Structure 1
Amino acid sequence: MNLKISHPTKFLFGKVELPASKSISNRLLIIQRLCKQSFEILNLSEANDTRLLQDILSEDRNVVDAQDAGTTFRFLTAYYAMTEGEKILTGSEQMKKRPIGVLVDALRELGADISYMGEEGYPPIAIRGSKLKGGEISIDGSISSQYISALLLIAPSLSVGLSLHLKGKVASTPYIKMTLKLMNKLGISYLWKGNVITIPSQPYKPLTVIVEPDWSAASYFFSFAALASSSELTLMGLNKESIQGDRIVANLFEQFGVKVSYLKKGIKLRKEIVENPLLQFDNDFNDYPDMVQSFIPIVAASGLPAVFSGVKSLRIKETNRVEALKIEMKKFGIEIIELDEDRIELKEQALKESKEPIATYNDHRMAMSLASMALTQDYIEIHNAEVVNKSFPNFWENLDRIGFKIEEM
């Protein structure tokens, strides 16, 4: 599906219905399987990734296709390793390019029987599951927090629990904290001291859980609010006490004139004049790398010189997001320079008009983040716009509600 997107007035007003958090939903589905007593999950995400994980867990398949769902693949790798039975876990062609070796090595240290069916360190993998003892292991924390969360989720079900040493600069720490907070809510005690997380063997306790709306999805509407001529948007369901680290967007976008008011049933975004405008934007996104794509358009439109740090993990997402952003922003006259593996730079430069279609690289975040470029142009074209179904199936409907003109081509 290819879309032509424009906004006639560049004035944004209305209510936005955000999806439930995919990250929270997927963690809860694994916990639900590990808990010996059933419990209910309310407001479960309708994202493709969550539906896929739910379907897989509800059926007994020998060959499991995780498609392009990275979290699903990683969580299932750990879950199947400690669950009796034999599984072949595979995925899409892009998934077969995403490394899994760090997690497999850690699970093997715990006694897991996992072998590669193709290239060493990459899917597909064959898992011969068994009850794992647990113990003390180390893992490189700089690559993906999902490896760490996968191990933490199964830790209480291991015979002697788990003591996990995190090596290096840990990426996406708030997502690890989210995992631990959800586990704690469902009865699990843990100790995080220094670079070691210790979880004793113990049972999960059943509790009805309501999944929060997704702050990651909210970030795109912060970007819209910042780029609009005028904006007053209500994002339903969000709250200040969220366990999601991506709530940091509320503080970061304030630098671009987006004022947040907390309401009983959500938050209100209003664009205001910035009294002390930024002269440069330098920020470390190591704890919330998915936010990088939400900030690129507003930084580019502002003409600010900028350095984005903490982008290393973006290279092993649904696509190499650093490379994809370089290609797509160049269409608008914006050059993104790679300073090193973990940092990118934007020089002070002006946006240009572009009628070149935006490619999405089968990446939901590329589609949603670059949709905001419609507020800097007469219109934009986005190809394969249906990729948003991965995390936010009603994304385009929400844009229509706040005044965007969405035309299928």
Structure 2
Amino acid sequence: MIAQVGFSSNFITTEIQISGSKSESNRLLILKSLYPNLTIKNLSISDDTKVLLAALEKMDGEIDVHHAGTAMRFLTAFFSFKEGVTVVLTGSKRMQERPIKILVNSLREMGANITYLKNEGYPPLRIIGKEPQQNTVNIAANVSSQYISALLLVASSLKNGLTITLQGEITSTPYIKMTLQLLQQIGLDSTFDGNTISLLPVSKIPQKTITVESDWSSASYFYSIISLVKGASVTLKSYKRESLQGDSALSEIYSKLGVVTTINDTENSITLSNNHKAISEKIELDLSNTPDIAQTIAVTCLGLAIPCLLTGLHTLKIKETDRIVALKIELEKLGARVIVTDNSLELFPEPSLNKNVLIDTYNDHRMAMAFAPLSSKVPLQINEPMVVTKSYPNFWKHLQKIGFLVDFKE
């Protein structure tokens, strides 16, 4: 399927309700399985969350997480210490190319029984759940914060708790802090001293209800649109001033790209409006704490014809695709010059963009959604557009609601 995407030139100012954060939802679902007294509201409707929920309901046999990397990592830790449970965790072809050895090594250090069924260091995995043999573990901190979060989520449910020593420079710190803050909200206290995190054992929590904040990563595409469309504004609902999500840094980052964020604490909403006077001549950003918004920022800069240098991107190479390479290919189709390393992307845009370019999505939801706002400048075609359901099933419907023209063709 291909989506032909354009813009009506008539931006419709409206309110958009984005579903709950995928990152928060997936963490809370693991916690709910360990502590049934937890009630979750405004759960994400993303494919990734549905996959994780189905896996937690099944609890045996072969479990296919498809493209859901978060589910693969969280479930690996979850099932490792579920005594009497045996599962095979598998996924898509790309999932079987995404490394998991660092997490598996740490779990094995604790006594987990995990076997690689194909290639060493990669899914699929056979996991035979058993009681951990020790309550201390070491893990590299500079590859993926999801490995650390996977351990944190199960730590308090273990009979002796867990002390985690992080080795090396910590990557994506906001996601680790999100996990720790969610643990605290449901009554699981931790200490984070230097590179050591400790959690005491807790077998039961009081009845607790948590409402998931809407997803800031999904909000990034509206930041991009408002930056690109002069005079536009939109209100996004169910957002908080004090967010747990690292991608809430969008408000500060996009202030350099002409977007003003107004927070309404009474309505729990944010209104984005365009102020082109505030646009910088060049953008240089370290995105090591917010790598998921790198694609969106790069495309916005292309649309504004602003050079940018984005660093801290090393985790993008092990996502749904190698996002650094994929970005370079697709940005250059539109006429830009792009220089990449394993950790950075530098964009040199041209004043005019190539039209009706076919953007490939590489089974990566963020490739489709990051490039879509550019259709406010030039018509685009997007290959396999329904990949967006991985995190934001209503994406195309919401774009149409504000004035974009979207036509799906087989």
Bin for the TM-score computed over the shorter chain: over 0.9
Q: Is the 8 A contact 2:287 2:294 kept in 1?
A: yes
Contact 1:257 1:273 in 2 (8 A): yes
Equivalent of residue 280 in structure 1, options 279, 282, 285? 282
Deviations 1:62-90 (A, max 9, x none): 11111110000100000010002211111
**Alpha-carbon spacing, 1:8–1:201, altered in 2? closer, same or farther (3 Å):** same
Of the candidates 306, 331, 334, which is equivalent to residue 333 of structure 2?
Answer: 331
Alignment partners' CA distance in 1, 2:239 and 2:303: 27
**Equivalence for 2:237:** 236
Cα distance in 1 for residues equivalent to 2:387 and 2:381: 14
Structure 2 counterpart of 1:267? 270
How far apart are residue 194 of structure 1 and its match? Answer: 0.9
CA–CA distance in structure 2, aligned partners of residues 10 and 142 of structure 1:
45
Structure 2 match to 1:178: 178
Matches within 5 A, 1:10-49: 11-35=11-35, 37-49=36-48
Deviation per residue, 1:99-126 (Å, 9 max, x gap): 0000000000101011111111000111
Q: Using a 3 Å threshold, how does the CA distance of structure 1 residues 67 and 160 change in structure 2: closer, same or farther?
A: same
| 1:8 aligned onto 2:8 | yes
Secondary structure of the residue aligned to 2:8 is coil
Secondary structure of 1:64's partner?
A: strand
**Aligned-pair distance for 1:218?**
0.4
In structure 2, the residue matched to 1:303 is 305
Q: 1:123 to 1:11 in 2, by over 3 A?
A: same
| CA positional deviation for 1:323 | 1.0
C-alpha distance in 1 between matches for 2:68 and 2:361: 16
For residues 215-234 of structure 1, give each alpha carbon's deviation from its aligned partner in whole angstroms, at most 9, with x where no partner exists: 11001100000001221111
Distance 2:352 2:170 in 1: 35
Q: What does residue range 142-153 of structure 1 map to in structure 2 within 5 Å?
A: 142-153=142-153
Distance in 2 between residues matched to 1:247 and 1:108, nearest whole Å: 35
The structural deviation recorded for 1:209 is 1.3
Do structure 1's residue 222 and structure 2's residue 186 form an aligned pair?
no
Aligned to 2:51: 52
Q: Which residue of 1 aligns with 2:390?
A: 390
Count of matched residue positions in the alignment of Structure 1 and Structure 2: 405
Change (3 A) 1:351 1:167: farther
Q: Is the 8 A contact 1:15 1:401 kept in 2?
A: no
Native 8 Å contact 1:66 1:73 kept in 2:
yes
Partner-residue secondary structure (3-state), 1:223: helix
> Aligned partner of 1:100: which letter?
I
More moved, 164-173 vs 89-98 = 164-173
CA contact (8 A) 2:31 2:153 kept: yes
Aligned amino acid, residue 346 of structure 1: L
What's the secondary structure of 2:261's corresponding residue?
strand
Distance 2:390 2:211 in 1: 21
Percent of residue pairs identical: 38
Aligned equivalents of 2:203 and 2:176: distance in 1?
20
Q: Are the counterparts in 2 of residues 187 and 203 from structure 1 also a CA contact under 8 Å?
A: no
Counterparts of 2:13 and 2:139, CA distance in 1: 46
Aligned to 1:67: 66
Q: 1:3: how far off?
A: 1.1
CA contact (8 A) 1:73 1:89 kept: yes
Match for 2:365: what amino acid? H
The reply to whether residue 132 of structure 1 matches residue 136 of structure 2 is: no
Give unmatched runs, 5+ long, in structure 2.
Answer: none
What amino acid is the match of 1:322?
I
Structure 1 residues 197-229: Cα deviation after superposition (integer angstroms, max 9, x where no partner): 111222351311111111110011000000012
Q: Secondary structure at the match of 1:208?
A: strand
Q: Which runs of 4+ in 1 moved over 4 A?
A: none
Report the TM-score, using the length of structure 1 for normalisation: 0.96
Q: Is 1:300–1:351's contact at 8 Å kept on the other side of the alignment?
A: no
How far does residue 163 in structure 1 lie from its aligned partner after superposition?
1.4
Kindly state the Cα deviation for residue 136 of structure 1 after the two structures are TM-superposed: 2.1
Q: TM-score, normalised by structure 2?
A: 0.96
CA distance in 2, matches of 1:229, 1:287: 29
Question: Which structure 1 residue ranges, 5 or more long, are not aligned?
Answer: none
Q: Could you tell me how far apart the structure 2 residues matched to 1:314 and 1:227 are? A: 25
Whole-Å separation in 2 of the counterparts to 1:346 and 1:172: 23
| 8 Å CA contact 1:48, 1:391 repeated in 2 | yes
Moved more, 210-219 or 345-354: 345-354
The aligned counterpart of 1:167 is 167
Indicate the residue corresponding to 2:323 in structure 1: 321
Kindly state the Cα deviation for residue 47 of structure 1 after the two structures are TM-superposed.
0.7
**How far apart in 2 are the matches of 1:102 and 1:218?**
31
Q: In 2, are the aligned partners of 1:31 and 1:204 still within 8 Å (CA)? A: no
* Aligned counterpart, 1:190: 190
The 1:349/1:167 distance shift into structure 2, 3 A limit, reads farther
User: Which whole-Å CA distance do the structure 2 matches of 1:370 and 1:397 have between them?
Assistant: 16
Question: In 1, distance between residues paired with 2:202 and 2:368?
Answer: 42
> What letter corresponds to residue 287 of structure 1 in structure 2?
N
Q: Is the 8 A contact 1:134 1:155 kept in 2?
A: no
Q: Which moved more, 1:213-222 or 1:259-268?
A: 259-268
Instruction: Answer with 101-110 or 399-408: which moved more.
Output: 399-408
- Where does residue 116 of structure 1 map in the other structure? 116
For the aligned residue pairs, the C-alpha RMSD in angstroms reads 1.4
CA distance in 2: counterparts of 1:317 and 1:351, whole angstroms = 30
* Letter matched to residue 273 of structure 1: H
